[in-house]
Structure 1
Amino acid sequence: SAAPEATCDLLLQAHARLTEGLLERSVEAKLLLLAALSGEHLLLLGPPGTAKSLLARRLADVCGGRCFERLLTRFSTPEELFGPISLKALESDRLCRKTAGFLPDAEVAFLDEIFKANSAILNALLTLLNERLFDNGGERIKAPLWCAVAASNEMPEAGELDAIYDRFLLRRGVRPISDASVASFMRASLTGNERARSTSSSVFGAADAKELRKSAAQSVVFPSRLLNLVARLRLHLRDEVQPPVVLSDRRLAKAVQAIRVATHAAGGNTVTELDMLLLQHMLWDRDPNQAAAISAWLWEHMVPKVDGGDIGDIQVEGAARAQLDGLYSRDGERNGRQLFRQQDGPGYIYFDIFWRIDDGSMPGGPGSPPWYDSRDNKDSKNPPTGGWATVYAGSDPAPTLWKVVDGCGSADNSVLRAHLLLEGLDARIKNSLAQEAEFQDIQSEIRSLESSLEALVHGRLEGVAGLRSVLGYELGSTSLKSTNRCFWLEDDEVRQAEENVLPRAERAAAEVELLLCK
């Protein structure tokens, strides 16, 4: 395949040709290029007159190859898309179509108002778009289709059209020109004619894109931390968004493959946090506004949280047999100290001579003393993180407590968790009643924690290096170099990454390094 620098130059050249004379269509042009390079399909959804058709035709100009274009209506017939029935074949008692010059013979296709087509056409399109196969009479033939672009003025109805809708990995809601650009748009329309179809050669072809995908699969690393980020986003869309967005397995697999191709095309060899922003164009469902919500979620979660506001809730682990594990929220005071109540269970954390954890009867379970108590922090208004012991011999081990920022759970701030665990271990070391065997256990826990922190800081430093490479920073320097690695980002996204994300990522890595030094 072409060298990374050459591929980036081709991307810039193709993008310039797609957007020539157009305003506010940079993202649409980039998605057209990503669809072509990854061998996927793009749906442009928006009102008439927003240059959807023009952009799709320009893609055929940029990519070359055999192109097919058709405006669909509910009266469209299969012959209009797939070719007429061959009369010569009928003479031999065979039913097949003459596909030359029609969709089964095309490499690049533009299907306008696709959702207005009838079910006979849509059913035939399913296999053609996904498997690149076409059933021509009794023979299933391989179609050379490389990339299809569809346009629609309206969202498809749920149900019958779900299958065809899911075939378009990339989706973009196209808006009219913003108020800020209207004057420039009208001035351009007065001073220039509509761009004529270019007679220059194509920028890249299907063979180039296929080779790029093969090279990306062999050379681009997709870090586990970012695959986990995709998994978390999937859960967020399914469990926390209303209405829920349920992603098909096919869409998830194709999304990460497309991101890998985008990374390689922009000259990268490792997927970074900023590359994940492309997911906003792949994972939204029925509302184009969901793209902005996905983008906001990614900006918030792509790097570890450093500042979380006031320390509030308490996390308890290790008391599962007593059914007291979970998140505890503040619930007033008891005996002049903070009282915490288990969010999804009967537990309480409270002060009564000592700090206690029990199942809610205060004191103790039914006819029993508290499950756990701690002699530490007797003068504090908040419960201690260590020093807990069970009053039942052979019962649960002593639970672990740590403070949680914003009630988001321990996974949201692993450094805070580690810091408080170290506090608990330090308190146990200072306990004069500790036995030699317990000291050995404590040392083993510390070594395990150090190993976890070393892995954590390694991952965070990798994230910082990736961000700096995309933004164009020289290794070990604060100066910028010329780079096309941020090709897929818009200017406002680059600014947000420089001013917000990169500093947060650097602080997140530094705080782990500081904790290791301690």
Structure 2
Amino acid sequence: MERDTAGRLRAICGELSERFYERADVVRTLCVTLLAGQHSLLLGPPGTAKSELAREITSRVEDASYWEILLSKFTAPTRMFGPVDVGALARGEYRQVFEGRATTAHIAFIDEIFKCSAAALNETLGFLNERIYHPENGGEPIRCPLIGAITASNELPSGEENAAVYDRLLVRIEVGYLADPSNFASLIRSAVRRPEPPTRTTVALAELQRAVAEEVPAVEVPDTMVDAVCTLRAALRRKELVASDRRWRQAVRLLQASAYLDGRTAVSETDLSVLTHVLWDSPAQRPTVEREVLQLVNLDAREALDLADTIGELEAQLDSMAGQPREALSEWVIKNAHQKLALAGKRLEKLREEAAAAGRSTAAIERVTGRQRAVRARVLTEALGVDASMVRAQL
């Protein structure tokens, strides 16, 4: 096994991708964000393993001080950054206990981030943006050792106050329920069988800190990549999607972190795909951002997205036919869905082979392939009545 920091982090990504179905891109993006010293948001409905995934990633950093909290509109700043020392207060001294709170954390997980109370808002913004905390009794600001925070929410923020917090979260990742029935069947089976002890790779805190502070910033950003980012910005502005200069500047470190995680010394077109999680404000904007980004990555990815549109249309048709007799569903599969899904699968495999042979990224193609397999699995189980536990063998 590789012993370097990037190699360990790649091993962690692999282990978690096997454990958390349909979450490979989520896992990698969270690791890249941490390497960039930035904060991320997991956005999705309850029960999509957001908290479990965040805890599993953060627990892989040895010797790190970890802090976690579930926010509500009543959460006081002292609960987050340091409660009052009752013993000292009895002696007439006002002192806070910072140990074990956000103030001393290297890594944080903040659940329901947009339920931050008005009282804690300014300190939370200072913690995320400047890594500082202003003590309740005044005095010099306290420097916090935070590398990065993973946050989670079931919904987008509302109101200007929450928008300020949202803006501090550079990476936004949508997390949904499992799409592939065979993965769902595997999830159910995992709940009733005794799990084998998982392989558990870790990385030392000092190694991660060195990577964030020294090794990732040393990754080269060629002029061609600067030009690509400028081209992307212009393309998005034509679509009336405008990100702040600060967000673009911070995104460069994400590109460097992506290259570092892959073991490369310079940023390449492959790394641009991480920007699909950076340059949108609402989920409705994400497909547009992804299409513009992947057009810069390679033409294979662009064609894969076109196939994704076809696959999405078939899934929408399947949803609209809910409740219809099995005979009607079978007829639709025979006349429409089966051939289109089969052709899409063959073309995606060809695109993947061509991209791999040319040394181009296959990540987008593989993501669309996963969608194709998930929709085909739904067709087999919902329209044709095939046992979900047998689906994977037929794909």
Which residues of 2 match residues 18-97 of structure 1 at below 5 A?
18-64=16-62, 65-87=64-86, 90=89, 95-97=94-96
Contact preservation (8 Å) 2:107, 2:148: yes
For the structure 1 residues 186 and 232, does the alpha-carbon distance in structure 2 shift closer, same or farther, using more than 3 Å as the test?
same
1:415-434, Cα deviation, whole Å (9 max, x unpaired): xxxxxxxxxxxxxxxxxxxx
Which residues of 2 match residues 96-115 of structure 1 at below 5 A?
96-115=95-114
Partner in structure 2 of residue 205 of structure 1: 204
Following superposition, the deviation at residue 105 of structure 1 comes to 1.2
1:209-245, Cα deviation, whole Å (9 max, x unpaired): 3322412333x2212232222223223333423xxx3
Following superposition, the deviation at residue 89 of structure 1 comes to 5.5
Partner in structure 1 of residue 286 of structure 2: 291
Following superposition, the deviation at residue 155 of structure 1 comes to 0.3
1:273-332, Cα deviation, whole Å (9 max, x unpaired): 1211110011111x2243332121122244699xxxxxxxxxxxxxxxxxxxxxxxxxxx
Partner in structure 2 of residue 150 of structure 1: 151
Is 1:188 the counterpart of 2:187? The answer is no
Question: Secondary structure at the residue paired with 2:363?
Answer: coil
Tell me which amino acid in the other structure corresponds to 2:187.
F
For the structure 1 residues 158 and 238, does the alpha-carbon distance in structure 2 shift closer, same or farther, using more than 3 Å as the test?
farther
Following superposition, the deviation at residue 95 of structure 1 comes to 4.3
Tell me which amino acid in the other structure corresponds to 1:157.
S
Following superposition, the deviation at residue 52 of structure 1 comes to 0.2
Tell me which amino acid in the other structure corresponds to 2:80.
L
Which of 492, 496, 502 is 2:366 aligned to?
A: 492
Following superposition, the deviation at residue 29 of structure 1 comes to 1.0
Q: 2:193 & 2:32 partners in 1: Cα distance?
A: 31
For the structure 1 residues 66 and 20, does the alpha-carbon distance in structure 2 shift closer, same or farther, using more than 3 Å as the test?
farther
Question: Secondary structure at the residue paired with 1:165?
Answer: helix
Q: 2:283 & 2:273 partners in 1: Cα distance?
A: 15
1:130-188, Cα deviation, whole Å (9 max, x unpaired): 11111123221111111211110000014221221111111101011104433333233
For the structure 1 residues 91 and 139, does the alpha-carbon distance in structure 2 shift closer, same or farther, using more than 3 Å as the test?
farther
For the structure 1 residues 63 and 472, does the alpha-carbon distance in structure 2 shift closer, same or farther, using more than 3 Å as the test?
farther
Tell me which amino acid in the other structure corresponds to 1:134.
Y
For the structure 1 residues 185 and 495, does the alpha-carbon distance in structure 2 shift closer, same or farther, using more than 3 Å as the test?
closer
Contact preservation (8 Å) 2:273, 2:297: no
Contact preservation (8 Å) 1:134, 1:141: yes
Which residues of 2 match residues 227-266 of structure 1 at below 5 A?
227-241=226-240, 245-266=241-262
Contact preservation (8 Å) 2:9, 2:203: no
Q: 2:201 & 2:83 partners in 1: Cα distance?
A: 30
Tell me which amino acid in the other structure corresponds to 1:26.
A
Contact preservation (8 Å) 2:11, 2:201: no
Tell me which amino acid in the other structure corresponds to 1:489.
A
Contact preservation (8 Å) 1:61, 1:202: no
Which of 6, 14, 17 is 2:4 aligned to?
A: 6
For the structure 1 residues 202 and 156, does the alpha-carbon distance in structure 2 shift closer, same or farther, using more than 3 Å as the test?
same
Tell me which amino acid in the other structure corresponds to 2:287.
A
Following superposition, the deviation at residue 74 of structure 1 comes to 1.2
Contact preservation (8 Å) 1:71, 1:113: yes
Q: 1:74 & 1:304 partners in 2: Cα distance?
A: 47
Gapped runs of 5+ residues in structure 2?
A: 301-354, 371-395
Q: 2:169 & 2:93 partners in 1: Cα distance?
A: 33
Question: Secondary structure at the residue paired with 1:268?
Answer: coil
1:189-228, Cα deviation, whole Å (9 max, x unpaired): 33345x99x8x8762234323322412333x221223222
Question: Secondary structure at the residue paired with 2:263?
Answer: coil
Partner in structure 1 of residue 275 of structure 2: 279
Partner in structure 2 of residue 178 of structure 1: 179
Q: 2:356 & 2:192 partners in 1: Cα distance?
A: 38
Contact preservation (8 Å) 2:10, 2:261: no
Which residues of 2 match residues 209-220 of structure 1 at below 5 A?
209-213=208-212, 214-218=214-218, 220=219
Q: 1:42 & 1:107 partners in 2: Cα distance?
A: 15
Contact preservation (8 Å) 1:212, 1:265: no
Tell me which amino acid in the other structure corresponds to 1:128.
F
Contact preservation (8 Å) 1:212, 1:261: no
Following superposition, the deviation at residue 88 of structure 1 comes to 5.7
TM-score, normalised by the number of residues in structure 2: 0.70
Question: Secondary structure at the residue paired with 1:176?
Answer: coil
Tell me which amino acid in the other structure corresponds to 1:217.
P
For the structure 1 residues 301 and 258, does the alpha-carbon distance in structure 2 shift closer, same or farther, using more than 3 Å as the test?
closer
Cα RMSD for the two superposed structures: 3.2
Decide which structure has greater helix share. 2
For the structure 1 residues 184 and 248, does the alpha-carbon distance in structure 2 shift closer, same or farther, using more than 3 Å as the test?
same
For the structure 1 residues 143 and 56, does the alpha-carbon distance in structure 2 shift closer, same or farther, using more than 3 Å as the test?
same
For the structure 1 residues 113 and 228, does the alpha-carbon distance in structure 2 shift closer, same or farther, using more than 3 Å as the test?
same
1:420-452, Cα deviation, whole Å (9 max, x unpaired): xxxxxxxxxxxxxxxxxxxxxxxxxxxxxxxxx
Partner in structure 2 of residue 356 of structure 1: none
For the structure 1 residues 87 and 174, does the alpha-carbon distance in structure 2 shift closer, same or farther, using more than 3 Å as the test?
same
- How many pairs does the alignment contain? 312
Q: 1:160 & 1:236 partners in 2: Cα distance?
A: 30
Partner in structure 2 of residue 129 of structure 1: 128
For the structure 1 residues 202 and 147, does the alpha-carbon distance in structure 2 shift closer, same or farther, using more than 3 Å as the test?
farther
Decide which structure has greater strand share. 1
Q: 2:368 & 2:205 partners in 1: Cα distance?
A: 30
Q: 1:19 & 1:59 partners in 2: Cα distance?
A: 11
Contact preservation (8 Å) 2:8, 2:201: no
Q: Structure 1 stretch 226-235 or stretch 68-77: which is displaced more? A: 226-235
For the structure 1 residues 250 and 88, does the alpha-carbon distance in structure 2 shift closer, same or farther, using more than 3 Å as the test?
farther
